[in-house]
């Protein structure tokens, strides 16, 4: 059963690694803006290549609200 010793140390070690990653991500400002990325990820390369196309092109759905 000495394996329990080992397992507890390992699990705590892993927990601490994740904890450090959490602190790091907070520090980098990842949680400062919780809204914009959710909008940004829905953008594709919506550049209109030809002007004539702009009217016929299917419109992306409304994103906010």
Partner 1 sequence: MSYNVISLQLKFAPIKKCMPKVDCFHCGAECDSKPIIFDDKPFCCNGCKTVYEILNENDLSCYYDFEQAPGAIPEEIKSKYAYLDNELIVKNLYDFIDDEISVITFYIPHVHCSSCIWVLENLDRLNKGVVSGIVNFPKKEIRITFNNSKTSLRQIVELLSSIGYEPYISLEDTSLTKRKTDRSLVYKLGVAGFAFGNIMLLSFPEYFQSNEFWLERYKPLFRILIFIMVIPVVFYSANEYFISAYKGLKHKILNIDVPIALGISVLFIRSAIEIIFQLGQGYFDSLAGFVFFLLLGKIFQQQTYSFLSFERDYKSYFPIAVTKIEKDKSEVNISIYDIKEGDRLLIRNEELIPVDGILINGNAQIDYSFVTGESLPVSKKSGDKLFAGGKQLSGAIEMEVLQTVSQSYLTQLWSNDVFAKKQQNTIKSLTDSISKRFTIIVLLIAFFAGVFWYFIDASMIANVVTAVLIVACPCALALSAPFALGNMLRIFGKHKFYLKNAAVVENLSNIDMVIFDKTGTITTNKTNITYQGLKLTKDEIQLIRNLLRESNHPLSRMLYEYLEKSDKIEVTNFKEIFGKGIQGEVDGIKIKLGSEKFVSGSTSNTLQTTIFIKIDDEVKGNYIFENAYREDIVTIFNELDKNYTLRVLSGDNEGEKEHLENILPKDIRLIFNQKPEDKLEYIKKQQEQTEKVLMIGDGLNDAGALAQSDVGIAVSENTNVFSPACDGIIDATNFGMLPKFIELSKGTLKVIKISFVLSFLYNIVGMLFAVTGNLSPIVAAILMPISSISIVVFVTITTNYIAKRIKFT
Contact between 13 and partner 1 by CB under 8 A: the answer reads no
> How far apart (Å, rounded) are the C-alpha atoms in residues 40 and 42?
5
Long-range contacts of 18-22 (CB under 8 A, 24+ apart): none
Closest CA relative to residue 39, chosen from 58, 63, 60: 63
E-strand stretches of 1-65: none
Residue 59 binding partner 1, by CB under 8 A: yes
> Least Å distance between CB 52 and partner 1?
11
- 3 is a contact residue toward partner 1 (CB under 8 A): no
Q: Which residues bind partner 1 (CB under 8 A)?
A: 1, 4-5, 8, 12, 15, 19, 22-23, 26-27, 29, 31-36, 39-40, 42-43, 46-49, 51, 54, 59-60, 62-65
């Amino acid at each position: 059963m000495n394996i329990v010793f080992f397992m507890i140390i390992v699990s705590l070690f892993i927990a601490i690694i994740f904890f450090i990653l959490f602190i790091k991500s907070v520090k980098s400002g990842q949680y400062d803006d919780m809204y914009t990325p959710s909008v940004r990820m829905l953008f594709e390369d919506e550049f209109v290549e030809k002007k004539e196309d702009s009217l016929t092109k299917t419109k992306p759905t409304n994103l906010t609200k």
